[in-house]
Structure 1
Amino acid sequence: MRFKKELDYVHLSKYFYIFSITLTILGIIFLAIFNLNYSVDFRAGSNVDVSLSKNLTVDQIRTAVANIGADHEPNITPGTQRVTIRYDEVLSSQQDAALKSAITKLDDKASFEVNTVDTEMAKELARNAIYSVLLSCLGIIVYVSIRFEWRFAIAAIVALVHDAFMVVAIFSIFRLEVDLTFIVAVLTIIGYSINDTIVIFDRIRENLRFGKQKTYDDLKVLVNKSISQTIMRSLYTALTVFIAAFFLLLLGGESIKMFSLAMVIGLLFGAYSSIFIASPLWLLLKKNQKAKPKSKPAKA
């Protein structure tokens, strides 16, 4: 399968910009109103993962743990012979023992994994996660600015921030749980995003060296040509990783489900951001560049 070289990617990009801007505004609204659905990793409390030998309903579990002495109602997430019970408070040793005893009465073969995060640790984890993303972006800006130029750097950062924020927006809109594996997924998505973007930018720079671009239309043709020359490589790379992440989502355990889902979502957005976001944005910035005056020939 080959894409026609005359396909106008720059023209098509306006539809992707409209879609991305709409989803960005929607994501900002949901983040402002509801914020993210943080897991116990980023919120003080206790998270109890229970492996069961029989199927129990949420009502059975809720009734069983109602009298352990907790101040708040737990959030119970059912699964296939597995259930997660999350409290917005740190359970004491007595409450922990009471919970295990109550579940064991329903299923004497149940096993438990309890994760507890205090308030200070939750704040530190959230702060470090933000710092890691910001430092990654800063490093990419420096790298792209040195290797290419500042216009490439701005376009690349917009593309990778777009990919990362789209994942955050989807998780906020659908109230999906954000845990530590989510941060790992976002950093991985940033890596794939910048990789695809650099491949296209490298081809644009190479074609600039051997072409004579005098007008905006000349640059537009060059960008479309560069994307055509690299699009199959970008799509094959994204598709290969997408298939792996998709099957991890379907067949993987509960502990990596949010990581796999974030990867799947991020790769879908990343598949078009380098083509329809980063490259047209560079073209827009380049369009406003003032032409350098030609040097006058020396008089004899």
Structure 2
Amino acid sequence: MRFKWNIDFIKKSKYFYTFSIVVTLIGIISLIVFQLNYGVDFRSGSNVDIAVSKQVTKEDMQNILTEANLNNENAVITPGSGRVSVRFPNVLSEDDQTKLTSVVESKIGKDASIEINTVDTEIAKELERNALIAVLVASLGIIIYVTIRFEWRFAVSAIVALLHDAFMVISVFSIFQLEVNLTFIIALLTIVGYSINDTVVIFDRIRENMRFAKIKSHQDLHDVVNKSISQTMTRSLNTVFTVFIASVALLIFGSESIRMFSLAMVIGLLFGAYSSIFIASPLWYALRGIGQDKGKKKPAKATT
């Protein structure tokens, strides 16, 4: 027996719109003031990851950098559980890498595993440009697909929901200055994929119900959208919940290299959980309502 969601989704959407607008404004301010905390993938420099078997503090790592004759004034040291990360704004030469490896082995132990990733300025710019192109191409493809399969109102609503989900994640990463790397871009594209999947399922049910509905007023249209969302609500929640649990598991038990990917997925799924229901569908309802008003014929003037 199908569970019936006795909720006026269209009416409740105003609260979610308000919340999203507030987060968007805070995100815009944060991006202007603080920008994004780009990782080594998008910023020239060297990133050093050291796997350790004992506790290494920030002060211990600063002493190691000093002994290796490396400028640690602008280096960002992030100690963690079983791992220490050091990000240099400049590219480390081969001599610098050799000195650092030698000092780390002497101070921490030869069992310490060192991984050094270096990106120069041109590669960083190219990666940033390609990441932006990837997101734009994916968005364009979605617009074309939804327009062909449904109509332009569905396409506009879907792309607004997708941009909403992506920007919410970007805003959170900017506000809390979380590191943005290539795995973050992969997470964004993955979130876009899950979001459009849920949105299309709801839109498909709206289109199906519209075929048999007699729309004479805004209330009729209102009822069709609420009915369509209610019919697909359980399916949408089950899909999001399944992926959310997997993302949380990766965030807790996964390696440091996919930590930002997992965190972006968790945040994106939380925002995406309501965007298809309370952002995309009510927006289509508003656009469809405007078209319905314009389609009404004006009463003929009486002739004398």
- How does the TM-score come out when normalised to structure 1? 0.95
Q: For the aligned residues, what is the CA RMSD?
A: 1.5
Q: What amino acid sits opposite 1:65 in the alignment?
A: L
Q: 1:63/1:5 Cα in 2 relative to 1: closer, same or farther (>3 Å)?
A: closer
Secondary structure, counterpart of 1:65 in structure 2: helix
Question: Given that residues 4 and 231 in structure 2 are in contact (C-alpha distance below 8 angstroms), is that contact kept between their aligned partners in structure 1?
Answer: no
From 287, 290, 295, the equivalent of 1:291 is 295
What is residue 73 of structure 1 aligned with on the other side?
A: 74
SS at match of 1:40: coil
Counterparts of 1:23-34 in structure 2, within 5 Å, are: 23-34=23-34
Contact map agreement 2:158 2:280 (CA 8 A) in 1: yes
AA aligned to 2:83 is R
- CA-CA distance at 1:111 after TM superposition: 1.7
Partners of 1:3 and 1:164 lie apart in 2 by 31
- Contact preservation (8 Å) 1:5, 1:224: no
Paired letter, 1:170: V
Deviation at 1:4, TM superposition (A): 4.2
1:19-50 deviations in Å (ceiling 9; x for gaps): 00000000011011111101001000000111
For these two proteins, the number of residue pairs brought into alignment is: 294
Tell me which residue corresponds to 1:296: none
Instruction: Give distance in 1, aligned partners of 2:137 and 2:69.
Output: 43
The letter for the 2-side match of 1:125 is: L
Aligned pair in 2 of structure 1 residues 59, 161: CA closer, same or farther (>3 Å)? same
Q: Distance in 2 between matches of 1:227 and 1:101?
A: 61
Once the two structures are superposed, the pairs formed by residues 134-283 of structure 1 within 5 Å of their partners are 134-283=136-285
Q: Secondary structure at the match of 1:203?
A: helix
Structure 2 portions without partners, runs of 5+: 298-304
- Partner deviation per Cα, 1:78-108 (whole Å, 9 max, x = no partner): 1122111110000111111121122122112
Decide whether aligned partners of structure 1 residues 30 and 147 sit closer, same or farther in structure 2, where only a CA change above 3 A counts.
Answer: same
Q: Hey, what does 2:119 align to over in structure 1?
A: 117
Q: How far apart are the structure 1 equivalents of 2:254 and 2:261? A: 10
Shift of 1:5: 4.5
| SS, match of residue 56 in structure 2 | coil
Distance in 2 of aligned mates of 1:60 and 1:240 = 42
TM-score by length of 2: 0.94
Identity %: 60
Provide Cα deviations, 1:249-287, integer angstroms capped at 9, x if missing partner.
Answer: 000000110000000000011110000000000000011
2:103 equivalent to 1:102: yes
Match of 1:298 in 2: none
**What secondary structure does 1:288 align onto?**
helix
What residue number does 1:58 align with?
Answer: 58
Q: Quick one: distance in 1 between partners of 2:290 and 2:79? A: 55
CA distance in 1, matches of 2:238, 2:175: 29
Letter in 2 for 1:118: D
* 2:154 and 2:284 in contact (8 A); partners too: yes
Q: Is residue 87 of structure 1 aligned with residue 88 of structure 2?
A: yes
Q: Deviations over 1:212-250 (max 9, x none)?
A: 011111100110000000000000000000000000000
Partner of 1:49, secondary structure, is strand
On the 8 A contact 2:42/2:125 being kept in 1, the answer is yes
Offset of residue 73 of structure 1: 2.9
